Amino acid sequence: MKLQQFRAQKFRCLYDSGWITINNPTVLIGCNDGGKTATINALDYFFGNVVPPIDAYSYVRNVAPNKDGERPRESEIILEAIFTLSKQEEQLLLDILLSPPNKTIHIRKTFNQSDTAVVSSIKSSVPKNPDLPRDVTSLQINSIREYLRKLGIPNPGGNEKLPLQEALRKWLITQPLEEDWLPIPASIVKLYPIYQKVEGEDSEQTIFQILNVIYRQLLKDPKTETLLSTFVNDFDRLLKQPLIDRAKNLVEFISAYLPDIVQAEVMPKFQVNPRFDSAPLTLVGKESARIDLSARGAGTKQQVNLAVFEWSSEMVEPGSEGKSTDTILAFDEPDLHLDYEAQKRLYRAIESYIDKEVQVIVSTHSLNFINRVPIQCICHYSKPAGKLDTTIEYLHPQSDDPEESAFFIDRLGESIGFDNATILYERCFLAFEGPTEQSALPILFRIYANDSLFRCGIRLVNCYNQYGAIVFAKFMHRNGRHVIFLVDQDTTINKGTKRLLTTSTLEKAGFSIAEQVHIIGPECFEYSFSNEIWTAVLNVNQPDSKNDWTPAKIEPYRQGAKKFLDSMETLLQNDNKPEIGLMLAKSVTKADHIPEIIRKCFDKAIEKAAQ
């Protein structure tokens, strides 16, 4: 079984997380206390046998605190998961459920404050007739015989329960059915993937958690199950020794960071159950002296921990069809305190888990992680100040838009130079069409706002000859980002050119011309600057200039934008538009020298970025 989606309700700040899509990897990012760790812990409670404490229940919404400042908590927590099934698992469920699982199953786990009993249920088809049994697998053999007799179903005879159960199940399938929740059979619980939360600050704890995964994989192997049933007292040979063997080469990884370490011994300890209890780590130096890792500095501990991550990525067994070794590893900020190079090594270790089809969930603040994964694998958590509830955002291509799928399914925005962090965290994008604007706008904005575009949360999108930029802008607009345009007046009329920011193109893409588009004129960006600014441009930048240019001498050149720009390029002996953009911007000394429409565009961008 592979985890496909997960949902938490009334669990800490996840009052209702909505369905969280589990990709491989799934990267949880966002503010502190926003729900990333809560999601990892909710999964721990879903797959584990532990009852959440009282403080795991969400506060009741819309109820004021009492006089002591206390607020009542919800009475229940609901955790749900949807799993995809292998063909073998589908066949097994066909023999248990009344309806085909259709490649997925939906399971719910409910906790109640007033009751230590945990209710696990599966969504399935049940008879509409309340007099018919809803769950055949829970019936005793005598009850099944009685139903067969009452319903006139041929009894296959014998004392085996399964043939009788199957006869009743086949008859029930022919009756009117409806969907409802049933107690989950133990045979389905056994199919659950192995879930392990990995907390990476303590090396010994990490070693135990990884070896615990291997231990549980061994237990789920049919060969191990058969042998354990025969040799109950021989689990040392079957389980303990493989763990010891797997840990033997740990020293190779540690010594790569700490050459004075020559021995690393891990001795798994078991309870009689058998239960894997702990895995103490002993390090021995070159002179056979034991090394107390707790007495070493943070740098040494980090190096050992990174070595453990690299070792663990080689040790965990891959899953395979027909073998119940599906595994989920959840890392809660494994990159904490790691430098850039160490983060890259850690990410390579995590990639090796993914290559083995181990599902990986990572909570992180690392831009290194965020920018390395496809954006559709990222869940962005946010919690507005003063609010109790978390919202989770996904930037996925629209499934019915072939343009978005073509541009963004792998690395959204890559073609126009935007990484995932920019796309996820910035809130205002200013799109334009032209290399002159690309050079001029950052300088003009600093003059106008006495601040940088970057610090104000505004990012420029150059749509010059880049159709992908238009698709990008449309995508960001649909996903709640503010997108505004600065468009040349002569672009607003489609003259059969390849220009992309025509009003018809923008309207077709879903943008409001009145609210989001600033049309600069007359005609174009360069032409909108005053004769005074162009006078300064020529006096400073014209080769062999006598510095005798005046606004009056510029005016005769104003015979339309194209002729004007051709004349300026001839005078400057320079047709490089980015350089001309710099010349214009550097010639502006006061904010009110900037064309009014550009100033209005800046005001709108500042307003939107602050929202």
DSSP string of 232-245, one letter each residue: GGGHIIIIIHHHHH
Q: Where are the domains of the chain?
A: 2-16+37-189, 202-325, 416-609
Residue 44 has pLDDT above 80, yes or no: yes
| Cβ–Cβ under 8 Å, residues 76 and 112 | yes
Residue 537 has pLDDT above 90, yes or no: yes
10-14, 272-276, 582-586: the lowest-pLDDT one? 272-276
- In the chain, pLDDT over 70 holds for what percent of residues? 89
Residue 581 has pLDDT above 70, yes or no: yes
pLDDT for the residue 372: 84
Spell out the residues 6+ positions from residue 607 whose beta carbon is closer than 8 angstroms to its own.
none
Burial 480-509 (b: 16+ CB within 10 A, else e): ebbbbbbbbbbbbeeeeeebbbbbebbeeb
- Calculate mean pLDDT across residues 479-501: 73
* Separation between Cα atoms, residue 281 and residue 264, nearest integer Å: 7
Strand pairing category for 26-30 and 378-382: parallel
- pLDDT tier at 415 (50, 70, 90 boundaries)? low
Hey, which bits of 206-302 come out as E strands? 261-266, 269-271, 275-278, 281-285, 290-291
- Calculate mean pLDDT across residues 500-505: 77
Angle between helical axes of 531-541 and 577-586 (0-180°, round to 10)? 110
DSSP string of 49-65, one letter each residue: SPPPPGGGBPBPTT---
pLDDT for the residue 324: 43
- pLDDT tier at 272 (50, 70, 90 boundaries)? low
19-23, 292-296, 480-484, 603-607: the lowest-pLDDT one? 292-296
**Residue 308, Cβ neighbours under 10 Å: how many?**
26
- Calculate mean pLDDT across residues 59-78: 87
Spell out the residues 6+ positions from residue 226 whose beta carbon is closer than 8 angstroms to its own.
none
Residue 501 has pLDDT above 80, yes or no: no
Instruction: Give the residue, 563 or 92, on which the prediction is more confident.
Output: 563
Instruction: Give the residue, 89 or 322, on which the prediction is more confident.
Output: 89
- pLDDT tier at 273 (50, 70, 90 boundaries)? low
* Separation between Cα atoms, residue 46 and residue 448, nearest integer Å: 54
pLDDT for the residue 303: 79
The encoded tokens of residue 390 equal 């978390």
| Cβ–Cβ under 8 Å, residues 448 and 588 | no
Residue 6 has pLDDT above 80, yes or no: yes
pLDDT for the residue 322: 44
- pLDDT tier at 527 (50, 70, 90 boundaries)? very high
The arrangement of strands across the sheet holding 428-432 comes to 458-462, 428-432, 482-488, 517-520
Mean pLDDT, all residues of the chain: 85
Q: Is the pTM of this model over 0.75?
A: yes
Burial of 592 (0-12, 13-18, 19+ CB in 10 A): exposed
* DSSP label at residue 202: -
* Separation between Cα atoms, residue 66 and residue 228, nearest integer Å: 56
* Separation between Cα atoms, residue 154 and residue 566, nearest integer Å: 95
Looking at beta carbons, which pairs linking 45-54 to residues 24 or more positions away fall under 8 Å?
Answer: 45/11, 45/77, 45/79, 45/109, 45/111, 46/6, 46/79, 46/81, 46/109, 46/195, 47/192, 47/193, 47/195, 47/328, 48/195, 51/111, 51/116, 51/118, 52/11, 52/77, 52/111, 54/113
Residue 432 has pLDDT above 80, yes or no: yes
SS3 509: coil
- Dihedral angle over CA of 555, 559, 563, 564, nearest 10: 30
**Nearest residue to 30 via CA among 44, 14, 47, 51:** 14
Residue 276 has pLDDT above 60, yes or no: yes
**Each residue of 209-265: pLDDT tens digit?**
888 888 888 877 777 767 666 655 566 667 778 888 888 888 888 888 888 888 888
439-448, 483-492, 565-574: the lowest-pLDDT one? 483-492
